[in-house]
């Protein structure tokens, strides 16, 4: 069967399965989540091996950022699903006297999830969980750039589900292009802005709603009154995890010039503490996904003032944790999302200039502000727009089930995690239920003349 026929056939089978109502009950939704959880447990060792092979991820980091997050999301969803599925009664206006009104969540149907390579396990399954919880059938397309993880995901899914419930389609641009030519009930895409545009354009042809989880340059602002040691420690942690290939990693730091020397000293201290004097030998330091990205990143180092790191080894796809000083806002490293282990420091004379700097650039996925002054932090949060934010920390907003995760403007649209994911994959149907015993004649024509004076 050709790819085109294979995919049309798969979608038709999923639509039929959905139409039979097999995904609707609480029991069937819970069962599917439990089956997924079981299949993940069965394959845990292979998942760790795959993540090490694709990204040089240590088992500790893989457990922390990929597997545990998914497990926690399944547990949280199982705990709350019955309450999320309930319909909610709302008041009924007097004009609908005799009726009752409610809002009933309903699955969307057959949905497509497209995932990136940087957290290839997490970002494939985190959207799958709410899609299943909401009662949809799903086609999942992981990233071809993390082939080992894509292969183990295929195994996990085929062990757990019939293809008409959840199917995994492996492949890159041609396969995704083919998938995108079909009509889905929702497309959930995680990836870069350029492909986000392609997805949205393709979806518009079928008027398919989209969630776009994109990226961008997420700034960290470090004020003179910040707890400098902790700011440096948490920025190093958030930036160099997964070798900087994290959508919400602090992309660059706007730091008040008075504390710059102290801040640089603290950055060096924590880089050495986390990864040692030879990060290439550290079991906790990852690798760049492929040569193309490696070359792009090394290119960004040209004509820069390298304060730490900068050394690299193409064969190993190793680029040392790198800090750049005195970076000009016009340099190439400040134009696009870095998505690698390079941290530019941009010094500012005061924090007002830092706020203007952020305001004058595309709205980022995350923003991190470090200061001991609560009023100033509130001002930053109020005067800047970003998908999410942390005060005196990095990344951690991602790990709360109670916080929706998503971008704004060019960093994305829509959100998920916890109940927000269930909402994303559900339609909230408005229902008015009227009794037949009462039928007010006034709404039917011919209307009396005094209606005009109402
Ligand atoms: P990408 O946009 O290159 O690829 C994402 C997916 O799209 C992959 O599955 C890929 O196969 C597919 N794809 C690639 N080119 C395509 C094309 N021309 N037509 C159709 N499909 C295509 O992104 P990536 O490089 O995998 O990931 C990096 C980007 O993702 C960064 O910008 C990062 O910030 C962003 N990201 C965002 C989040 C988030 O949650 N907001 C999370 C991780 C990564």
Asked if residue 148 and residue 252 are part of one domain, the reply reads no
Range of the domain at 231: 219-398
* 216-232 confidence digits (pLDDT tens): 999 999 999 999 999 99
Asked if residue 288 and residue 198 are part of one domain, the reply reads no
Whether ligand 1 lies within 6 angstroms of the CB of 188 is answered as no
Instruction: For residue 405, tell me if it sits in a domain.
Output: no
Asked if residue 278 and residue 249 are part of one domain, the reply reads yes
Ligand 1, atom 39, lies closest to the CA of: 213
Quick one: how far is CA 392 from the chain centroid? 21
Residue 1: what pLDDT?
Answer: 57
Please give the model's pTM, rounded to 2 decimal places: 0.96
Average pLDDT over residues 31-49: 98
Nearest to 390 by CA among 215, 239, 221: 221
Asked if residue 305 and residue 329 are part of one domain, the reply reads yes
Nearest to 366 by CA among 399, 324, 322, 333: 399
| Confidence label for 374 from pLDDT (cuts 50, 70 and 90) | very high
Average pLDDT over residues 101-124: 98
User: What is the domain count for the chain?
Assistant: 2
Residue 264 sits in a domain whose CATH number is 3.40.309.10
Average pLDDT over residues 382-394: 98
Task: Say yes or no to pLDDT of 312 above 80.
Answer: yes
Asked if residue 201 and residue 105 are part of one domain, the reply reads yes
Q: What is the mean pLDDT of the chain?
A: 97
> pLDDT over 70 for what percent of the chain?
100
β-strands 219-222, 426-434: how paired? Answer: unpaired
* 326-372 confidence digits (pLDDT tens): 999 999 999 999 999 999 999 999 999 999 999 999 999 999 999 99
Asked if residue 289 and residue 188 are part of one domain, the reply reads no
Residue 363: what pLDDT?
Answer: 98
Asked if residue 96 and residue 170 are part of one domain, the reply reads yes
Asked if residue 232 and residue 195 are part of one domain, the reply reads no
Question: Known catalytic residue: 247?
Answer: yes
DSSP code string of 187-242: EEEES-HHHHHHHHHHHHHTT--EEEE-----EEEE-TTS-HHHHHHHHHHHHHGG
Q: How high is the ipTM of this complex?
A: 0.96
| Confidence label for 86 from pLDDT (cuts 50, 70 and 90) | very high
Average pLDDT over residues 60-76: 96
Pocket test for ligand 1, best of 144, 168, 175, 191 (most atoms within 8 A of CB): 191
Asked if residue 131 and residue 161 are part of one domain, the reply reads yes
Instruction: For residue 451, tell me if it sits in a domain.
Output: no
| Span from the CA of 260 to the centroid of ligand 1 (angstroms) | 34
Ligand 1, atom 16, lies closest to the CA of: 173
Asked if residue 392 and residue 355 are part of one domain, the reply reads yes
Question: Known catalytic residue: 390?
Answer: no
63 neighbors 51 (Cβ within 8 angstroms): no
Could you give the CA distance from residue 111 to residue 187 in angstroms, rounded to a whole number?
Answer: 6
| Confidence label for 160 from pLDDT (cuts 50, 70 and 90) | very high
Give the number of the atom of ligand 1 that is nearest the alpha carbon of residue 412. 41
Strand partners, 348: 256
Ligand 1, atom 17, lies closest to the CA of: 173
Asked if residue 373 and residue 228 are part of one domain, the reply reads yes
* Count of positions (residues) in the chain: 454
| Span from the CA of 277 to the centroid of ligand 1 (angstroms) | 33
Nearest to 339 by CA among 229, 193, 223: 193
Asked if residue 237 and residue 200 are part of one domain, the reply reads no
313-338 burial, b if ≥16 CB within 10 A, otherwise e? eeeebbbbbbbbbebeeebebbeebb
Instruction: For residue 453, tell me if it sits in a domain.
Output: no
């Amino acid at each position: 069967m050709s790819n085109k026929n294979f995919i049309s056939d798969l979608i038709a089978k999923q639509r039929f399965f959905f139409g039979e109502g097999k995904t609707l009950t609480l029991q069937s939704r819970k069962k599917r989540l439990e089956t997924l959880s079981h299949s993940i447990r069965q394959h845990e060792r292979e998942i760790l091996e795959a993540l090490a092979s694709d990204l040089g991820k240590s088992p500790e980091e893989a457990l922390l950022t990929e597997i545990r997050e998914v497990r926690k999301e399944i547990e949280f969803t199982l705990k709350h699903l019955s309450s999320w599925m309930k319909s909610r009664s709302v008041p009924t206006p007097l004009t609908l006297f005799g009726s009752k009104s409610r809002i009933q969540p309903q699955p969307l149907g057959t949905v497509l999830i497209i995932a990136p390579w940087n957290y290839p396990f997490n970002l494939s399954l985190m959207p799958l969980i709410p899609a299943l919880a909401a009662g949809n059938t799903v086609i999942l397309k992981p990233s071809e750039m993390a082939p080992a993880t894509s292969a183990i995901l295929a195994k996990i899914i085929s062990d757990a589900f019939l293809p008409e419930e959840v199917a995994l389609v492996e492949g890159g641009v041609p396969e995704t292009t083919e998938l995108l030519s079909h009509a889905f009930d929702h497309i959930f895409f995680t990836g870069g802005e350029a492909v986000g545009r392609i997805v949205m354009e393709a979806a518009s042809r079928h008027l398919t709603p989209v969630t776009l989880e994109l990226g961008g340059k997420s700034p960290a602002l470090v004020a003179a009154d910040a707890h400098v040691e902790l700011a440096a420690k948490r920025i190093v942690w958030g930036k160099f995890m997964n070798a900087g290939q994290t959508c919400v990693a602090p992309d660059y730091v706007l730091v008040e010039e008075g504390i710059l020397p102290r801040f640089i000293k603290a950055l060096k201290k924590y880089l050495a503490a986390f990864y040692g004097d030879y990060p290439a030998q550290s079991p906790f330091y990852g690798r760049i996904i492929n040569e193309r990205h490696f070359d792009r990143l090394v290119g960004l180092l040209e004509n820069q003032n390298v304060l730490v790191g900068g050394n690299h080894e193409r064969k190993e796809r190793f680029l040392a944790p790198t800090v750049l000083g005195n970076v000009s806002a016009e340099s190439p490293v400040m134009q696009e999302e870095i998505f690698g282990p390079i941290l530019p420091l941009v010094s500012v004379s005061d924090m007002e200039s830092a706020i203007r700097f952020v305001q004058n650039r595309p709205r980022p996925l995350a923003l991190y502000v470090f200061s001991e002054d609560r009023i100033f932090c509130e001002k930053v949060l109020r005067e800047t727009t970003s998908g999410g934010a942390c005060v005196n920390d990095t990344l951690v907003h991602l790990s709360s089930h109670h916080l929706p995760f998503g971008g704004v403007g060019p960093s994305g649209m829509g959100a998920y995690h916890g109940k927000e994911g269930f909402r994303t994959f559900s339609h909230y149907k408005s229902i008015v239920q009227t009794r037949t015993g009462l039928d007010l004649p006034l709404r039917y024509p011919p209307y009396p003349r005094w209606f005009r004076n109402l």
